[in-house]
Every structure is written in structure tokens, then in C-alpha cells.
């Protein structure tokens, strides 16, 4: 077997010839950004593909999160998960909001609704859960708590492109959801993101906030930001969308191969979520438990020595980073499930162009560690 490095992900790139006509069109249009034709077309096609009402494109997911929090007009404290990428919590702090960490559910590794109410105070204004790995949060339970306490719900849905539950897109839940189209995500525009909202008025407000707060040539009412996606990124999104079914189908093959072969290895627990009717196979997380002879970090190193670059998503917990570790909600006693998961989790390589030989190589390495 060859020994070229296998990374946790690799972007899906359609044939470059297919991208050239889009660039020629941009050169003809002479519109490079500011909500040009490619941008408008992508918002329309994404809304149709995802089955949502309104899509507002952004130049990255983090700016989309920052702007979504602005649009919800929040103050005080926001309940969130420590088990995510750091951008989730950073976006709260950039909005002068105080993150309050709540523990996760041991099966989905998403915010545990049973623990949310105890963390609500007079200052709480919102809940910001993450659909981690594209696995759906308990959206019904979260909404019930939000309704009872008059809280907004903003989903960090950076991993959840195209995921559906029995009621349709999981992006339909909550007040707003945010997608990331970063190079490492299932659907990419190199850098990019979007806010999903439910009505035209909210879209208009977000459009103003993402464009410096500009209303018209002489009117600016908000301290907005520059969150606009360029025409080149939007054009790439249109092309990616033509290939998305192929890309997702290829991921599914890898996912199924892993499931079949890893299920036999004692101590390797495959994370399984059942709330979705359509999944996106964005990550392949396993928990390396006590029944496996190596610790998670030992397996991670072993794979690395064999040129397999699995990643510890999410380790460390956000609550372990120095800017957050002083918060009372960051106390490990408050986050028992998250503290356990962060020590055991390993995300295995999964991407559309991953060869069967490469998937086998990862599996054989893990089997070898079990001997
Ligand atoms: C990728 C990611 C983000 C940030 O998105 P960018 O497009 O990279 O800014 C936010 N939250 C989560 C959970 C992510 O995985």
C-alpha cells in the first residue's frame, strides 16, 4: 500500500473547465461583489436545494454568526455548548454577550436540553446550540424551553448543510441558523457562510447589517459590518451545488464502509444519531473508550505515524481555553459529559475523493491498535 498522507478532509473540486464559463460571465458582468447576479442566483438555488425560506450569503460563517447575534438584538447571557469550534463562543464575546456553558448529551454530543433550565438566569436572552457533526440537536425540547422562558434560539449549523429531519430541513428550527461554506465543510465556496431566516423582513434587516448598515445612498442606521460574499465565491457555490449529490453520495460510501468494519472492534464506539432522515456524512467521529487497548491520544499518534491525520474534534473544549476557563460555567464539574467526550473523540478521515484503499488503511491501523 502506498503511504501518501491521508488528511481528515479534502475539498471536493469540480473539473476546472466547468468553472471557466462562470468566470467569463463575471468578467462580462463587471460586477464583482455587492450582491451581484451570481450572489442572487446562489441565494435562490440554495433556498430551493435546502428547502428553506430565506438564505443570506456571507463571506464566512463567523461573520454570519456575528451578524445573526446582532440581528437578534441580544444582551446579557447566552446558553451554549463548550463542545464546538471556538468560533461559536468567540462570536458571543464579540457581541459583548456572556457565554454560559451547559453540558452535552452523551449520545449526540449536542447541548443537553435537560441541563439548560438550571442555567437560565434573569440575564439570559438566548440559547445557541450547535448541530455538532451535522447531528441534529433535540430541537423540540430546546424550542419548548425557549418558548417557556421567552428566549431566542440561534443554531450554529456550520456542520449541518443539507441535513433533514422528518419535518424537512433542520435549518427551519429556531429563530436563525448559520451555515459555514469554509473549504473544510461539506459544501464550500472556499470561504463563505449564510444565515437562514424565515421571512423577507428579517432577510432585509440582515442584508443591511452585512453591508455596513447602509439603507440607501444617504441613510445609514446601524453600525454594520462587511459580510458580503464576492461573485467569484458565489459562482463557485453555484458549481458546487451542481455536484453536491455526487459529493454526498461519495461520503456516504466511506461512512458505510467505516461503520461496517469498525463496529467489530471492541472499544471503538461509533457516534450514531437517529434524529435525521437525511444525513450529510460531514464527519466520522468515534469515541475511543476504555475497552480499546490504546488511549485516544495513543491511537491519534499511531495513525499519525502511519501518515493518517485524524483530528480531535473537539479537543480541547472551548471552556478550557484561557479566555473562557475563568467563567463559573466552565468548571469541569458542570460539564462532565463534555469533559469525557473531549478525551475520547477522534474524527477519522472522510471526504468525497477518499479511495477504498485509504479507508481500508485507516481501518487496518485501528484494528492493529486493538491487538
Ligand atoms: C467552521 C465552523 C464555524 C466557522 O465558520 P467559518 O466559515 O470558518 O468562519 C463556526 N462554527 C462551527 C461549529 C464550525 O465548524
In order, the DSSP letters of 115-129 are HHGGG--TTEEEEE-
Based on the fold, state whether residues 209 and 358 are members of the same structural domain: no
pLDDT, position 162: 98
Based on the fold, state whether residues 113 and 195 are members of the same structural domain: yes
Q: Which of 239, 258, 274 is the last residue in one of the domains? A: 239
Q: Residue 2 above 80 pLDDT?
A: no
Decide: 68 in ligand 1 pocket, CB within 6 A: no
CA angle 104, 105, 109 (to 5 degrees): 70
Q: Which of 185, 213, 239 is the last residue in one of the domains? A: 239
Question: Among residues 335, 243, 171, 350, which one has the least CA distance to residue 19?
Answer: 243
CA 230 to chain centre: 21
pLDDT digits (tens, 9 = 90+) for 262-296: 999 999 999 988 899 999 999 999 999 999 999 99
pLDDT, position 3: 83
Report CA(318)–ligand 1 centroid distance (Å): 13
Cis preceding linkage at 192, omega within 30: no
Q: What is the mean pLDDT of residues 333-354?
A: 97
Give the domain extent around 270.
245-369
Q: Please give the helix or strand (H or E) that residue 7 lies within, else none.
A: strand 6-7
pLDDT digits (tens, 9 = 90+) for 90-130: 999 999 999 999 999 999 999 999 999 999 999 999 999 99
Report CA(62)–ligand 1 centroid distance (Å): 6
Q: Which of 208, 223, 239 is the last residue in one of the domains? A: 239
Based on the fold, state whether residues 215 and 269 are members of the same structural domain: no
Based on the fold, state whether residues 53 and 173 are members of the same structural domain: yes
Based on the fold, state whether residues 230 and 117 are members of the same structural domain: yes
Phi-psi region of 96 (alpha: psi -120 to 50; beta: other; left: phi over 0): left
Report CA(210)–ligand 1 centroid distance (Å): 17
Within a domain: 4:
no
Q: Per the structure, how many domains does the chain have? A: 2
Based on the fold, state whether residues 185 and 72 are members of the same structural domain: yes
| Ligand 1 atom at minimum distance from 130 CA | 13
Amino acid at each position: 500500500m502506498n503511504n501518501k498522507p491521508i488528511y481528515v478532509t479534502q475539498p471536493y473540486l469540480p473539473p476546472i473547465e466547468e468553472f471557466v464559463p462562470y468566470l467569463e460571465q463575471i468578467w462580462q458582468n463587471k460586477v464583482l461583489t455587492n450582491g451581484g447576479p451570481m450572489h442572487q442566483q446562489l441565494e435562490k438555488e440554495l433556498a430551493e436545494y435546502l428547502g428553506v425560506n430565506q438564505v443570506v450569503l456571507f463571506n464566512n460563517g463567523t461573520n454570519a454568526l456575528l451578524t445573526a447575534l446582532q440581528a437578534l438584538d441580544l444582551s446579557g447571557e447566552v446558553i451554549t455548548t463548550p463542545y464546538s469550534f471556538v468560533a461559536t463562543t468567540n462570536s458571543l464575546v464579540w457581541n459583548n454577550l456572556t457565554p454560559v456553558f451547559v453540558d452535552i448529551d452523551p449520545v449526540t454530543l449536542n447541548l443537553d436540553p435537560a441541563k439548560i433550565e438550571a442555567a437560565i438566569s434573569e440575564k439570559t436572552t438566548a440559547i445557541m446550540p450547535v448541530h455538532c457533526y451535522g447531528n441534529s440537536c433535540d430541537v423540540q425540547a430546546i424550542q419548548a424551553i425557549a418558548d417557556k422562558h421567552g428566549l431566542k434560539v440561534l443554531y450554529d449549523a456550520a456542520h449541518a448543510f443539507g441535513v433533514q429531519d422528518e419535518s424537512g430541513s433542520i435549518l427551519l428550527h429556531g429563530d436563525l441558523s448559520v451555515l459555514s461554506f469554509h473549504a473544510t465543510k461539506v459544501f464550500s465556496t472556499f470561504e463563505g457562510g449564510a444565515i437562514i431566516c424565515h421571512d423577507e423582513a428579517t432577510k432585509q434587516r440582515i442584508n443591511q447589517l452585512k453591508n455596513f448598515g447602509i439603507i440607501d445612498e444617504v441613510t445609514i442606521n446601524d453600525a454594520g459590518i462587511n459580510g458580503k460574499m464576492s461573485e467569484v465565491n458565489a459562482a463557485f457555490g453555484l458549481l458546487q451545488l451542481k455536484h453536491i449529490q455526487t459529493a454526498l453520495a461519495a461520503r456516504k460510501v466511506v461512512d458505510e464502509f467505516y461503520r461496517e468494519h469498525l463496529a467489530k472492534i471492541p472499544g471503538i464506539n461509533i457516534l450514531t444519531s437517529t434524529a435525521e432522515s437525511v444525513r450529510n456524512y460531514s464527519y466520522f467521529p468515534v469515541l475511543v473508550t476504555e475497552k480499546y487497548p490504546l488511549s485516544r491520544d495513543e491511537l491519534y499518534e499511531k495513525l499519525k505515524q502511519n501518515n493518517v491525520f485524524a483530528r480531535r474534534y473537539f479537543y480541547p473544549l472551548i471552556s478550557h481555553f484561557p479566555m473562557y476557563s475563568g467563567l463559573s460555567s466552565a468548571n469541569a464539574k458542570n460539564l462532565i459529559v463534555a469533559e469525557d467526550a473531549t478525551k475520547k473523540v477522534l474524527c477519522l478521515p472522510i471526504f468525497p475523493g477518499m479511495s477504498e484503499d485509504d479507508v481500508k488503511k485507516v481501518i487496518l491501523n485501528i484494528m492493529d491498535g486493538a491487538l
